[in-house]
Structure 1
Amino acid sequence: MDLPLTPPLQPMLAAAVDAIPADGDLVFEPKWDGFRCLVFRDHDEVLLQSRSGKSLNRYFPEVEAEMLRVLPPQAVVDGELVVAVDDELDFDALSERIHPAASRVTLLAEKTPAVLVAFDLLALGTRELLESPTVERRAALLDLSGLHVTPATTDRELAQQWFTLFEGAGLDGVMGKPAGGPYTPGKRTMIKIKHARTADVVLAGLRWHKDTEPGTAVGSLLLGLYDEAGLLHHIGVAGSFKAADRRALATELAELITEDEAHPWVSPQPGQRIPGEINRWRGAQAQFVPLRPERVVEIHYTQTEGDQPVRLRHNGQFARWRPDREPASCRYEQLDIPARYDVAAVLRGDLRARD
């Protein structure tokens, strides 16, 4: 590629902070929940580069074609690949696009097409823009027609409203960029404010770590909450344990393993969500190890998704055991469910949630 910037190029990164800062010259943007993607176009050639530097072209042919249609002959753009289902971001549907079978990729490109939401312009024609201030790069980005460009603001109050409302469309926070700052590949120059919550949930199953002998190390904990009818629904998992913790959990939880057919996820009721259930992506029930639902664990989580009963959008993070809580007291009421919103409204910067 004959561009002023050539791949692979590390994207500019962000450091997490607890809240929107009260001062500082910042440009705020909604934080999109997808795959980071740098787009390099040089006339008839387009490269979709992942955050790790790998090509995403084979998985998102519809985005490659769209970039050939809307970008100038030579340009480098930073953005996020997202998939919306029923006008709400669907990270699971996006993840399913990374599939080894070309026929499956083609099918999903039609059924669940991805779009690129652009939020920075790094090169245009023969000009590199890395040293240009954020506000100048954004102005140049807005001059390009046909792209889905994220909204931006310097108004902290409006950014706080975005943080609260746009979660209903599947977004997971707000980003902040120094208004007069350059684009710094690989450096945490931006800030990110993400939703952070806790919940007390029921431990009712586990899966063994895939790289160890079954029974020796826990891969993930399977979590549930009770609904008003007393059904225990699977809401997600907690994982990302250190190796020593995986082994310790395998020993600690061994006494809870059960083969009782009365386990709520072994003999589920109609409408009850269970781990690894058959869906459009999975043709067979995924296996798990049932545990007697006697323990309560506090988790950190960011967002929920889906219709009732809702589930965790991303994996929860183990915080601590709660021996003071009874499993039956762990119900959906404790979850913070955002108002419904839609992706199109986010792109317009519309602050009115849908009914």
Structure 2
Amino acid sequence: MGDKRLVPPIPPMAARTVDTTPRADGLAYEAKWDGYRALVYARPDAPRLQSRRGTDLGPGFPDILRAAAALGEEAVLDGELVVIEEGAVSFGRLQSRAQRTGPGAEAAAAAHPAHFIAFDLLQLGDETTMGRPYRERRALLEEVFTRRDLQPPWALCPMTTDPARAQEWLDAAWGRVGIEGMVVKGLGQPYRPGERGWRKLRARATAEAVVGAVTGPLASPDVLLLGRWDEGGELRMVAQSAPVTTALRRELGPLLTSAGPEHPWTDARFRSGWGSRDLLAHRCVVPEHVVEFEADVAFDEGRWRHPVQARRRRPGFAPQDVPRFPSGPAQ
């Protein structure tokens, strides 16, 4: 075991996506939260909050830095950084906080405090614990929470060895409060920085929306921009699809009609992804065709953050039949 402080940045251990819940002896299941993956270096003299990519998140989260300095013992913890409002994770508020520094960050911390949901332990005292099996690291992490009687902003990530219980985290109802699936770890696994040695399974739900614009040729669209009407009658974008299948492209293409300048998205600027600066070159279409899509539960401010999978056209649905904006993933 090492006897020196771990030096940031450390690439966190990662997970690869799977489609079904792994079931075998010797597995642990953790709730997957919809926040920022982060490492906390709890040190009284030099606390640090590191992002998944190694950047310093500390300036935006002085409340977490203070908690890290006051933990009472040196440790490096892996977990998820979230902001919880009205009983649910608010990714938009988290993003806003990450962009603030100085007095603005302090004001945001007071108004919208963050939480750190810990799920792993890389170092405790002068021992680097990454070589220990997960079951031992988890036990040590739980001991820290008990010994220090940790309260918010600290939280311990839910974990179970029962796959049936973990399956509940795939329910869209959990998605509405911020749990977007599960991460599966081997009880005997060491922590290997940067390695995709874990597995993750996202909760998914189906929903409907109207095709409001496309990218690529109108007769053979590549990506669909999907919308729903709000209570004021304005068409609002709710999702961007991944590239559609050849079959759906062939079915939709001949049906789409180019919209005139009265289309509400004519002068809109849509980015290629959440947080991206790249703009999409979109073509507005008459919003008259409804599609069913499959999405994960990363849903914020009325919009799905990740590209959705457009599955099929719903000829039996009229545009007015789609849920109103905003509406949750379970609709």
TM-score for the superposition, normalised by structure 1:
0.71
1:97 and 2:97 matched: yes
Cα distance change of structure 1 residues 3 and 87 upon mapping to structure 2, 3 Å threshold:
farther
CA contact (8 A) 2:226 2:238 kept: yes
Cα distance change of structure 1 residues 104 and 223 upon mapping to structure 2, 3 Å threshold:
farther
Residue 256 of structure 1: SS of its match in structure 2? coil
Q: Deviations over 1:232-274 (max 9, x none)?
A: 65352316769xxxxxxxx9999624322xx5789xxxxxxx9
1:225 and 2:228 matched: yes
Residue 43 of structure 1: SS of its match in structure 2? coil
Q: Which runs of 5+ in 2 are unaligned?
A: 216-220, 245-252, 271-281
How many residues in Structure 1 have an aligned counterpart in Structure 2? Answer: 295
Residue 33 of structure 2: SS of its match in structure 1? coil
Quote the offset at 1:319 in angstroms.
3.0
One-letter amino acid of the counterpart of residue 302, structure 2: R
Residue 332 of structure 1: SS of its match in structure 2? coil
CA RMSD of aligned residues (A): 3.7
Identity of aligned residues (%): 32
Quote the offset at 1:132 in angstroms.
0.4
CA contact (8 A) 2:184 2:199 kept: yes
Q: Deviations over 1:161-215 (max 9, x none)?
A: 2333533412100111100110111111111111123333212257x9xxxxxxx
Distance in 1 between residues matched to 2:194 and 2:316, nearest whole Å: 44
Distance in 1 between residues matched to 2:24 and 2:47, nearest whole Å: 39
Distance in 1 between residues matched to 2:104 and 2:224, nearest whole Å: 30
Q: 5 Å matches for 1:295-314?
A: 295-303=289-297, 311-314=302-305
Aligned position for 1:190: 198
Q: 5 Å matches for 1:151-162?
A: 151-162=158-169
Q: 5 Å matches for 1:1-355?
A: 3-72=4-73, 74-99=74-99, 102-144=102-144, 145=148, 146=150, 147-164=154-171, 166-205=174-213, 222-225=225-228, 231=233, 234=236, 236-238=238-240, 256-260=258-262, 263=263, 291-303=285-297, 311-319=302-310, 322=313, 324=315, 327-328=318-319, 330-332=321-323, 337=330
Aligned position for 2:250: none
Distance in 2 between residues matched to 1:59 and 1:219, nearest whole Å: 38
Cα distance change of structure 1 residues 336 and 52 upon mapping to structure 2, 3 Å threshold:
closer
One-letter amino acid of the counterpart of residue 228, structure 2: L
Distance in 1 between residues matched to 2:322 and 2:48, nearest whole Å: 46
CA contact (8 A) 1:300 1:316 kept: no
Q: Which runs of 5+ in 1 are unaligned?
A: 209-217, 243-250, 267-273, 277-287, 339-355
Distance in 1 between residues matched to 2:182 and 2:38, nearest whole Å: 18
Q: Which has the larger displacement, 133-142 or 324-333?
A: 324-333
TM-score for the superposition, normalised by structure 2:
0.75
Residue 181 of structure 1: SS of its match in structure 2? coil
CA contact (8 A) 2:30 2:157 kept: yes
One-letter amino acid of the counterpart of residue 330, structure 2: I
